[in-house]
């Protein structure tokens, strides 16, 4: 059940950028998308190892020094630092959004939904009913999930070997998590691309209830806009096909 906030404090949204997979334009677009889709005061924070090109309005924070196993340098496990007892000068509830995400509707309800919950996340589209979230979208309160960091930090490599990915590690460590409503958080590939063979004739459509659309793996946001699904093996073109989705450009700006 959604509850209405009565205070006028800023909502804090965070994103992470490290390595060169996504450039500063992704951060700037995310800031603009979030700004257009909130009716409340906003604090937008980017943790990054390179602030070059990040525009006004984005509050830049340094990524913690890298002292993890080298194979984690560009791996999502690196974001486990978010679950330490302190996180720079941030406090209270934070909404984390991945950079390969399209914001298509109001984010305010993400803060209002089940405010008592410690961790609320999009349910992973390929693991329905298994208690696993997709951490492209999640909300938590600073300093309240320290068991994640305390389990991870003594032997990061062991946790990476034990779990397929960081989101499985987090959800299994917490034991019980809450999920945002299914129609708020969609996957482009798994929610919007029509089934085969309709995808050859019908373009992906955006449902009006959607608030975010995740572009995990391929295609990237710009590729999906043009109707491109890059594949290495030629036979995969038999099913990895999409028609252009120009509505993406209406939001990704």
Q: Is residue 4 part of a domain?
A: no
* Cβ atoms 75, 68 nearer than 8 A: no
* Cβ atoms 46, 53 nearer than 8 A: no
Same domain for 151 and 198? no
Same domain for 72 and 109? yes
Please report how many Cα atoms fall inside a 13 Å half-sphere around the Cα of residue 180, on the Cβ side. 28
Cis ω for the linkage preceding 219 (within 30 of 0): yes
Same domain for 127 and 197? no
Same domain for 81 and 191? no
Per-residue pLDDT of the chain (253 residues; tens, 9 = 90+): 333 344 447 999 999 999 999 999 999 999 999 999 999 999 999 999 999 999 999 999 999 989 999 999 999 999 999 999 999 999 999 999 999 999 999 999 999 999 999 999 999 999 999 999 999 999 999 999 999 999 999 999 999 999 989 999 999 999 999 999 999 999 999 999 999 999 999 999 999 999 999 999 999 999 999 999 998 777 787 889 999 999 999 999 9
Q: Is residue 27 part of a domain?
A: yes
- Of 179, 208, 237, the last residue of a domain is 179
Q: Is residue 127 part of a domain?
A: yes
Same domain for 48 and 155? yes
Q: What does the alpha-carbon distance between residue 206 and residue 212 come to, in Å, rounded to a whole number?
A: 10
Number of domains in the chain: 2
Domain with 21 in it: 11-179
pLDDT recorded at residue 232: 76
Label residues 41-60 b or e (16+ Cβ within 10 Å = b): ebebbbbbeeeeebeeebbe
| Adjacent-strand bridge partners of 95 | 13, 139
Residue 81, token pair as written in the block: 């630092």
Q: Is residue 1 part of a domain?
A: no
Number of other residues whose CB lies within 10 A of the CB of residue 17: 22
Q: Is residue 5 part of a domain?
A: no
Q: What does the alpha-carbon distance between residue 251 and residue 85 come to, in Å, rounded to a whole number?
A: 35
Residue 11, token pair as written in the block: 């909502």
- CATH number of the domain encompassing residue 32: 3.90.550.10
């Amino acid at each position: 059940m959604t509850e209405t906030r009565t205070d006028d404090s800023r909502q804090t949204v965070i994103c992470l950028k490290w390595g060169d997979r996504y450039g500063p334009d992704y951060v700037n677009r995310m800031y603009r998308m979030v700004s257009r889709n909130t009716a409340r005061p906003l604090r937008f924070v980017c943790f990054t190892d390179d602030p070059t090109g990040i525009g006004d309005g984005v509050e830049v924070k340094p990524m913690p020094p890298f002292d993890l196993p080298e194979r984690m340098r560009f791996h999502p496990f690196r974001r486990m630092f978010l679950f330490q007892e302190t996180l720079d000068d941030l406090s209270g509830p934070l909404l984390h959004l991945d950079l390969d995400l399209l914001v298509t509707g109001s984010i305010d309800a993400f803060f209002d939904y089940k405010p008592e919950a410690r961790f609320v996340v999009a349910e992973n589209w390929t693991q329905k009913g298994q208690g696993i979230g997709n951490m492209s979208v999640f909300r938590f309160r600073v300093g309240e999930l320290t068991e994640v960091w305390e389990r991870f930090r003594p032997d990061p490599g062991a946790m990476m070997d034990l779990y397929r990915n960081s989101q499985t590690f987090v959800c299994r460590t917490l034991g019980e998590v809450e999920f945002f409503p299914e129609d708020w958080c969609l996957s482009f590939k798994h929610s919007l691309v029509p089934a085969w063979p309709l995808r050859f004739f019908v373009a992906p459509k955006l449902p009006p209830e959607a608030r975010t659309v995740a572009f995990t793996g391929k295609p990237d946001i710009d590729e999906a806009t043009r109707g491109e699904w890059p594949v290495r093996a030629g036979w995969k073109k038999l099913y990895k096909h999409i028609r252009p989705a120009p509505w993406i450009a209406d939001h990704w700006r």
